[in-house]
Amino acid sequence: MQQHDVLILDFGSQYTQLIARRVRELNIYCEIHPYNKPPANANDFKAIILSGSPSSVRAENAPHFDFSEIRGNKPILAVCYGAQYLAHFSGGNVAPSNTREYGRANLSYIKENEIFFSRISEGSQVWMSHSDTIKELPTGAILLASTSDVENAAFRIEGEDTYAIQFHPEVYHSTDGKRLLENFLVNIAGIAQTWTSDSFVETTVSELQETLGNDKVVLGLSGGVDSSVAAVLLHKAIGKNLYCIFVNNGLLRKNEFESVLNQYEGMGLNVKGVDASARFLNALSGISDPEKKRKAIGNSFIDVFDDEAHKIEGVTWLAQGTIYPDVIESVSVNGGPSATIKSHHNVGGLPDFMKLKIVEPLRMIFKDEVRRVGASMGIDSELLARHPFPGPGLAIRILGNITPEKVRILQEVDAIFINGLKEYGLYNKVWQAGAILLPVNSVGVMGDERTYEKVVALRAVESTDGMTADWVNLPYEFLQKISNQIINKVKGVNRVVYDISSKPPATIEWE
């Protein structure tokens, strides 16, 4: 049985995912659910955390959650909006703040001998982000902490395990935030810190065995971290009943198809490599528009995958490498009651006619947890540290129409860049890197000859989730070496530029 430790009710705060991250860092399992769609098994959870919100409790359409059933019966931690909610609807008073309460503050008062604040001292820095303030505490509340601007910064309700804080313990700037969460979850709610990669693997494998029995499952491997870890988990659970398909769309990195396929086979996976390069390149022929390229690739992938899946007799499940941020996003507070979880796929979803049931073994874990789970199952660290690579591959890094010759040139350039990053110990300092083939020729000189050849751009970015990104300040010496190597070794390229644009306003990929 999956653990049911902590239920985080999301009222729409930008920080809700961070609460989950901090709780998981304490080796405690948690799930985020929108306040207006709590899970049917809410009562199974051992503690509830109410998140912050961009809304005001005083607004007419304020997010409302009836927790009269759980209050007093279960430990509750109300954060920011949650704290104001508790005050506003239980006899206190919430009003607009006189001063802007945003940023760092320090606790100027902490009530003595409170478990909630154990190992935390006055002066501790906390992060505030709110425009309403609690003027009067709710009925039965005991003040636990204040800052110079916010008197009612933390309180508890007498006779209940109900705690409330105006500040955000989940934000790193709250220096003792994790300790506070630990005090609440471990010392007050009595939750054991047993959620680890190993325990995740153990429970997930046995759940998969129970759900899948002797059924056959098909999974599309991409060479990336998520699908690889999902495959190994499923393989552990059902062995040869997992049928993996790894498609070469002709737009992968140089030698990637062969080397990754070898790696998968070495891991004992039941994997079939399908070289469909010609089919993809054919479908892309003459197309220059980025979205049309994506569509052509997505459709070709569906065709190839469907053909292959049909060859597996009696297959009833499709496995996907969906991870938790995708799930959370798709059932957001504003998604409405009918919002469905998106079927996430790199290249545009799979057709309904496949009529397969979906299994997503990673749907409750975050990216870095996926990597840790992979490591705990012995997956090669190089595979786990791979940069993200887009489903449409090099097609969206070749600006304009695609030809086999352009693919060859870009593969060569990309390989020099990526291998160089590895040699110089820079690969793991970069979130994503690649080369882009530009649709322009420029004049150059080689020996005594005039050349008129292609320009390539190099791109390396730092990011945490790809939503925002900064270009990486790669050493000049490195750029100089790589540029020389590219121009000397790759026929058809006479100029290299480095992309120094951040996202936003640029994007990571050029198309």
Which residues lie near ligand XMP (CB under 6 A)? Answer: 294, 346, 388, 390-392, 396, 432, 466, 503, 507-509
Choice between 220 and 391, CB closer to ligand XMP = 391
- C-alpha 438/C-alpha 434 separation (Å) is 13
Nearer to ligand XMP, 197 or 346 (CB): 346
Task: Estimate the crossing angle of helix 367-376 against helix 197-212, to 10 degrees.
Answer: 90
Task: Between 24 and 397, name the residue whose CB sits nearer to ligand XMP.
Answer: 397
- Our CB check for ligand XMP shows the closer of 388 and 400 to be 388
Instruction: State the minimum distance, in angstroms, from the CB of residue 449 to ligand XMP.
Output: 37
- State which residue, 256 or 265, has the beta carbon closest to ligand XMP: 256
Supply the DSSP symbol for 231: H
Nearest CA to 200 out of 34, 382, 366 is that of: 366
Contact (Cβ atoms closer than 8 angstroms) between residue 250 and residue 280:
yes
Residue 130's alpha-carbon distances to 141, 165, 327, in angstroms, are: 21, 12, 27
Are β-strands 271-275 and 242-248 bridged in parallel, bridged antiparallel, or unpaired? Answer: parallel
Kindly state the smallest distance separating residue 251's Cβ from ligand XMP, in Å: 11
Q: Which of 165, 97, 104, 167 is nearest to 131 (CA)?
A: 97
Residue 126 or 323: the one with the smaller Cβ distance to ligand XMP is: 323
* CA–CA distance, 360 with 423 (Å, rounded to integer): 36
CA distances from 23 to 107, 170, 173, 180, 229 (A): 22, 9, 16, 11, 23
Nearer to ligand XMP, 373 or 508 (CB): 508
Residue nearer to ligand XMP on the CB measure, 130 or 345: 345
To ligand XMP, the closest distance from the beta carbon of 389 in angstroms equals: 7
Range 266-271, long-range pairs (CB < 8 A, 24+ positions)? 267/232, 267/235, 267/379, 268/235, 269/221, 269/231, 269/232, 269/235, 269/242, 269/244, 270/235, 270/239, 270/240, 270/242, 270/243, 270/244, 271/221, 271/231, 271/244, 271/245, 271/246
- Specify the DSSP element, H or E, that contains 344: none
Catalytic residue numbers, as ranges: 80, 168, 170
C-beta of 434: minimal distance to ligand XMP in Å?
Answer: 8
- DSSP 8-class letter at 12: S
Shortest distance in whole angstroms from residue 465 CB to ligand XMP: 9
- Rg of the chain over Cα atoms, rounded to whole angstroms, equals 27
Q: How far is the CB of 498 from ligand XMP (least distance, A)?
A: 17
Residue 313: CB minimum distance to ligand XMP, A: 30
208 with 234: CB under 8 angstroms? yes
Q: State the nearest-atom distance from the C-beta of 299 to ligand XMP, in Å.
A: 13
How many residues are listed for the chain in this entry? 511
Spell out the SS3 assignment of 387-421: CCCCCCHHHHHECCCCCHHHHHHHHHHHHHHHHHH
Burial class (CB in 10 A: 0-12, 13-18, 19+), 456: buried
Cβ–Cβ under 8 Å, residues 169 and 79: yes
